[in-house]
Structure 1
């Protein structure tokens, strides 16, 4: 796995078709991904969700069922069965591409049995307000996995493993309910996001990491799954709802038992870079985080066009503040149209955004499946209307990924000195070439750059083919580069 300029591909989206097509597609595309320059593939949750063969995977039911047991209406998951999953990961590995597994351990859904317990109501808008009134009710918190019958793990989850639910029966009521039990202590977990007072509770039966048996089972699962499928790392879901001390401990454990150092990135979806920095501090820097603030800047820039100040696009981002812990993105399954965090980057701006994450030296960039392969789907919008969404292939993307491998080398120099036209250059090294990247969100852009004596009397062409002219530098290494309006050009040395 070449990690000199690592590039991550999110190989799915929320509306990927069901029917077990994804794992075979991963295997089919393994060779071309390696050839393009992808070094890591992030797969969707590979275990059985509450909605079985229809589950995108974030409604975790059984972490030990990788499409092996007849549970929730099917043996396979939405993406295929266990054999196909292992074959896909092996195909990637054969071509030097690593795999990240998606870890969803904030909650469980689809319990097998109800339990009669005591609960308190919590105010959904301020979860710190927990009523003293005790209600006896039935809740769905007992997970026995009858079809698996104790294979891989004999652990049975019950109400002592959880601290909250959003639905009780007998009396029937929906809301946020704090489970009363002696195993986990009062109140919610600390070291979680402070939105809604305390954001420990998100959905389903909320796992309580204060139960030592639970944390040990989740460490055991990690050891088991690494042994079963030989992944290269993990993507951690919804960490702002999970106490940071748990993931610090869990990551230390998996890194200790792994044969090679694992690549780990967590999703802390906040646009406040201070919150991301606080989390990195709480876990002792043991995980990278997705740069949600940069994604929001891309979204805003794509909507505002020439009114957006491109020179400020890295302001208040994780990659600017802490480049060593930043995984940069242009889109993901939550931000795509009709999803919960919908904030799509308009198609015209995506080549600019991808150039900004793929060709610069800081951050590990992530490519989103629909931008590389396209996607179309239908769903209901927030207003109840039915919508058909087309996510087109971004034509420049394949070339930009290759350019990262082939030309994103050497010292970086920036010319972020104009609101509508910015540029940066990579100097190259003795062995590897560099590039000059220029983009505009307004009219045609032009910059005269001083590249230094080492690049005197050289000739460049636009790798993306947006500009047809050649550029020549003078005897001092000065050259004038252009790009089209609302576009980007990547200038590389001609032979």
Structure 2
């Protein structure tokens, strides 16, 4: 959530990994393991999806050896007026064809600011734009019917849909006398229009269960996960929030907002009871903190350690920092990598950053505005194709200095892997590197280099990279 929008905000703190093939994808990261349609995607010589020019070329997402890519399907303050679900629905076919495997949606339920809320101030978890409360029937994004149509469309495209879950705090309750504070608090949610998960003062800190948990946010009522009644409504009962979202609304996974506000056991218990992919927003650059949370939560986590290292590397001319520790290096199956999101957008030189996350291990995320508005979509589609088809196996860093970075994906189960070369200098660079391949011709699948070198018997070869750009090399096949 947005730090600069106090009234709506929730400082969003918070895999599917591409390091192996589908046989080794765990149930915690189902977005690529549960692909049903095997439509073949036609590509051009650079690996980008082929088009006949009349828009007729089309294929559903199919998981390649490197996996898939997550699209963040919104940004802060998307247009209000109730049309966002339709906007996303209209883009799903193109995203699927490009190789996007899943879409993460903003909080879908009615929040305090009704038709103007981004959803991070939740009031009624079961009002998806079908009840007249908080000043509107629809949410900012649209109606329940439009949301359900979006999810159905995504599933026909072999894409999964992840719900943004805000369970640290609530907003929009009525005032009531609170014996634990000796004052009135805005904790009376007994009149929620759905009739589901009514709440009162004892469901928020401080209460009979204590004064506080791990963290509160912005003065909003802090939901008490220690209360069995709250647990039952969040994940326990058949019509709990989690099970309703999964079984009725058909969401496939969860992005947990501001997980610093409650213990990792909450996400762990949700996952055990509800299932589906999950990722936590733990806004912390310390890789030890990220890894500990992910292990205790039994969940993926956004790789903020990689995020801040990429900013230093690509914006400050210090590619050596890419040698430093990151979550994807600790456990790629629990690392969701990203270049920007609705809360934070500090990396200026984004294309090398996308080249980095789309060729390395972890579950890479594309930010909506980068893809649809700000960057070169053809170049992003090319990198997505490279990720899904070539980015396999473990990673070996071959060379780094301030201006150059070269790494190899070692391949897996017959897939040859790749070599990625990133150059932040103002001139062309060349370098001898050790590849996975003996006596075979390779090419740059980005098209940035026109070389077609042949590797030596000892697997060494000279490759090149243009200034302020990148190249990605693999077998010419």
Whole-Å Cα distance in 2 between the matches of residues 3 and 241 of structure 1? 37
Deviation at 1:39?
Answer: 1.0
The 5-angstrom pairing of residues 70-469 of structure 1 reads 70-111=132-173, 113-118=174-179, 136-145=182-191, 147-148=193-194, 150=195, 153=196, 155-163=197-205, 179=206, 181=207, 183-185=208-210, 187-189=211-213, 192=214, 199-219=215-235, 220-255=240-275, 262-283=276-297, 286-305=298-317, 308=318, 310-336=319-345, 344-346=346-348, 349-360=349-360, 362-374=361-373, 391-393=374-376, 396-410=379-393, 412-428=395-411, 432-443=415-426, 444-451=428-435, 454-460=437-443, 462-469=444-451
Deviates more, 1:310-319 or 1:30-39: 310-319
- Residue by residue, what CA displacement relative to the aligned partner does 1:342-363 show, whole Å, maximum 9, x if unpaired? xx110xx322111221112x21
Cα gap change, 1:430 to 1:293, in 2 (>3 Å): closer
* Structure 2: gaps (5+ residues): 1-34, 36-62
Deviation at 1:269?
Answer: 0.8
Q: Is the 8 A contact 1:116 1:139 kept in 2?
A: yes
- Residue by residue, what CA displacement relative to the aligned partner does 1:90-118 show, whole Å, maximum 9, x if unpaired? 1111111111111101111111x211225
Whole-Å Cα distance in 1 between the matches of residues 246 and 64 of structure 2? 20
Aligned twin of 2:44: none
Secondary structure of the 2:191 match is coil
Aligned twin of 1:131: none
Aligned twin of 2:39: none
Cα gap change, 1:368 to 1:249, in 2 (>3 Å): same
Cα gap change, 1:44 to 1:483, in 2 (>3 Å): same
- Greater strand fraction, Structure 1 or Structure 2: 1
**RMSD value, Cα:** 2.2
CA radius of gyration, larger in:
1
- Residue by residue, what CA displacement relative to the aligned partner does 1:373-423 show, whole Å, maximum 9, x if unpaired? 01xxxxxxxxxxxxxxxx444652111011111222345443134332111
Secondary structure of the 1:471 match is coil
Whole-Å Cα distance in 1 between the matches of residues 400 and 190 of structure 2? 61
Deviation at 1:323?
Answer: 2.3
Secondary structure of the 2:473 match is strand
Whole-Å Cα distance in 1 between the matches of residues 82 and 175 of structure 2? 31
Q: Is the 8 A contact 2:392 2:412 kept in 1?
A: yes
Secondary structure of the 2:167 match is coil
Secondary structure of the 1:416 match is strand
Cα gap change, 1:447 to 1:275, in 2 (>3 Å): same
Deviation at 1:288?
Answer: 0.7
Cα gap change, 1:393 to 1:51, in 2 (>3 Å): farther
User: Aligned residue pairs: how many?
Assistant: 410
* Structure 1: gaps (5+ residues): 121-135, 164-178, 193-198, 256-261, 337-343, 375-390
Whole-Å Cα distance in 1 between the matches of residues 165 and 376 of structure 2? 28
Whole-Å Cα distance in 2 between the matches of residues 107 and 298 of structure 1? 31
Deviation at 1:225?
Answer: 1.7
Cα gap change, 1:96 to 1:209, in 2 (>3 Å): same
Whole-Å Cα distance in 1 between the matches of residues 64 and 249 of structure 2? 21
Question: Aligned to 1:481, which of 447, 459, 463?
Answer: 463
The TM-score, its normalising length taken from structure 1, stands at: 0.78
Whole-Å Cα distance in 2 between the matches of residues 205 and 429 of structure 1? 49
Cα gap change, 1:66 to 1:473, in 2 (>3 Å): same
Whole-Å Cα distance in 2 between the matches of residues 357 and 434 of structure 1? 15
The TM-score, its normalising length taken from structure 2, stands at: 0.80
Secondary structure of the 1:106 match is coil
Secondary structure of the 1:209 match is coil
Q: Is the 8 A contact 2:312 2:321 kept in 1?
A: no
